[in-house]
Amino acid sequence: MTGGSRGIGRSIAEVLAAEGAAVAVNYRSGEAQAQEVVEAIQQAGGRAAAVGGDVSDFEQAQAAVSETVAQLGGIHILVNNAGISKDALVYNMEPEEWMDVMRVNFGGTFNCTKSVLSPFMSQREGAIVNISSVMGERGWTGESNYAASKGAINAFTRCCAVEFARFGIRVNAVLPGFAPTDMVAGLMDKDGGKGITKQIPQKRFAEVEEVARTAVFLAGPDSSHMTGALLTVDGGVSAQVGIGKPL
């Protein structure tokens, strides 16, 4: 579970643990937060361990997978959730801002996916769930680097699903819309998010638990004949044209 110390990642870790999974809570810099998640899971009767590592670095991603196996006895599910945003208009965006977002969001997904392939292929079983975004399928001002990284994840999900199916490995993605996390806090600064919620058919943000339960569904046996799927959890945002009604 990469990026599992807060937000959607924390919720996925907790729901997975409640369903009986032993969870490795990966973090890059938030060790204290990751330990809080581990303690909450353990207090609820589950098994968990905090595993450090910057997934944008391939060797650290490999080490995190090895540590997970050592601490928890194996690995059967990978949730690629780690992500950052550095929003800016393309005209104002620095090349570093572009590459940093790609390295973490898409690079981390590639690095961790490659790192779990040996154990998954040898046991001929595994589930990979990539946390993408509806931004990867649609456009939004100031989100070009973030949206491009998520679009790459969507394409990567489909290709991996095709490549890995013969080994019993399933690869799917969850595409959240707007949820109240630190990642989208800047989008809600202006009016508390009212300008966004009025564009959502359900007129509300997603709860992080709603996104988490979709991810856990894709990780579990109830989705056993699903691979290469991109499931949106967006309150209907991507179902409409424009803002969904005449101006």
- What positions carry a catalytic annotation? 146
User: How far is Cα of residue 85 from the mean position of the Cα atoms in its chain?
Assistant: 13
Output b/e per residue, 98-135; b: 16+ Cβ within 10 A.
bebbbbbbbbbbbbbbebbbebbeeeeebbbbbbbbbb
Angle at 133 between CA 203 and CA 52, to 5 degrees: 120
Cβ burial, residue 80 (10 Å; 0-12/13-18/19+): buried
User: How far is Cα of residue 114 from the mean position of the Cα atoms in its chain?
Assistant: 16
